[in-house]
């Protein structure tokens, strides 16, 4: 369920297919202001995540020195930045 209102400017970049969205939380971070931040992951880049918070704010969170909890289809994963692939790969 998307927390964004249709009038929010931050939500204009959210894809129409809600099945692609997942919830993300910052569990630990070198930057204290990011700890506890929760929202919907809308974009992933090499070094950052773009997240829409419950207050409809777009936040850019650095992956480095952070541990994230990601929920996809009811499954919860905890990952540090080291576990994310920095470029596209084919897993066999």
The tens digit of pLDDT for each residue in 5-59 reads: 444 444 444 444 444 578 999 999 998 999 999 999 998 888 899 999 989 999 9
Is 53 inside any structural domain?
yes
Is 87 inside any structural domain?
no
Is 59 inside any structural domain?
yes
Give pLDDT, residue 33.
92
Average pLDDT score over residue span 49-77 = 89
Is 26 inside any structural domain?
yes
Is 25 inside any structural domain?
yes
By C-alpha distance, which of 64, 71, 78, 75 is closest to 34?
Answer: 64
CATH number for the domain including 71? 2.30.30.210
Give pLDDT, residue 90.
53
Q: pTM, whole model, 2 decimals?
A: 0.65
Tell me the residue range of the domain where 58 lies: 10-82
Give pLDDT, residue 20.
57
Give pLDDT, residue 7.
42
Grouping H, G, I as helix, E, B as strand and the rest as coil, residue 21 is coil
> Domain total for the chain?
1
Answer whether 6's CB lies under 8 Å from 46's CB: no
Is 66 inside any structural domain?
yes
Is 18 inside any structural domain?
yes
Residue bearing tokens 């066999």: 92
């Amino acid at each position: 369920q998307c927390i964004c209102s249709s009038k929010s400017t931050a939500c204009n970049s959210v894809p129409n297919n809600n099945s692609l969205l997942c919830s993300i939380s910052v569990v630990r971070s070198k930057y204290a202001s990011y700890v506890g931040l929760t929202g919907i992951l809308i974009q992933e880049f090499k070094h950052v995540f773009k997240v829409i918070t419950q207050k409809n704010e777009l936040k850019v969170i650095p992956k480095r020195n952070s541990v994230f909890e990601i929920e996809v289809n009811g499954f919860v994963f905890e990952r540090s930045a080291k576990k994310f692939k920095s470029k596209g790969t084919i897993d066999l």
